[in-house]
Amino acid sequence: MSDTQEFADAGPLAGYVVVDLTRALAGPHAGMMLGDLGARVIKVEAPGHGDESRTWGPPFLGPDDQPVSSYFLSANRNKESVTADLKSPEGKDLLVRLVERADVLLENFRTGVLDRLGFSVERLHELNPRLVVLSISGFGPDGPEAGRAGYDQIAQGEAGIMSITGEPGRPTKVGVPIGDLLAGMYGVSGLLAALLERERTGRGRVVRTSLLSALVGVHAFQGTRWTVAGEVPQAIGNHHPSIAPYGLFNASDGALQVAVGNDASWRAFAAVVGLDPAEPRFATNPLRVRHRDDLVAEIEKAFAAHPRDHWLARLAEAGVASGKVRTIDEVYDWEQTRSQGLLIDVEHPLLGTVQLPGPALRFDDAPPRRHAAPPLLGQHDESVRAWLDED
Query: So which residues are the catalytic ones?
Result: 180
- From the CB of residue 271, how many other CB atoms can be counted at a distance below 10 Å? 14
- From the CB of residue 333, how many other CB atoms can be counted at a distance below 10 Å? 12
φ/ψ (deg, to 5) at 387? -65, -45
Check residue 79 and report its DSSP letter: E
Check residue 163 and report its DSSP letter: G
Residues 6+ apart with CB under 8 A from 14: 8, 38, 39
Q: Where are the alpha helices (DSSP H) in the chain?
A: 26-36, 70-73, 89-101, 113-116, 121-127, 152-158, 178-201, 211-217, 221-227, 263-273, 285-290, 292-303, 308-318, 328-333, 335-339, 381-388
Q: How far is CA 363 from CA 49, 149, 335, 340, in A?
A: 37, 37, 20, 12
Amino acid at 390: E
Count the alpha carbons within 13 Å of 79 in the hemisphere toward its beta carbon.
32
**CA atoms of 375 and 248, how far apart (whole Å):** 41
| Residue 216: strand, helix, or coil | helix
Residues 6+ apart with CB under 8 A from 243: 259, 260, 261, 285, 289
Check residue 89 and report its DSSP letter: H
CB-CB contact of 161 with 174 (8 Å): yes
CB-CB contact of 151 with 25 (8 Å): no
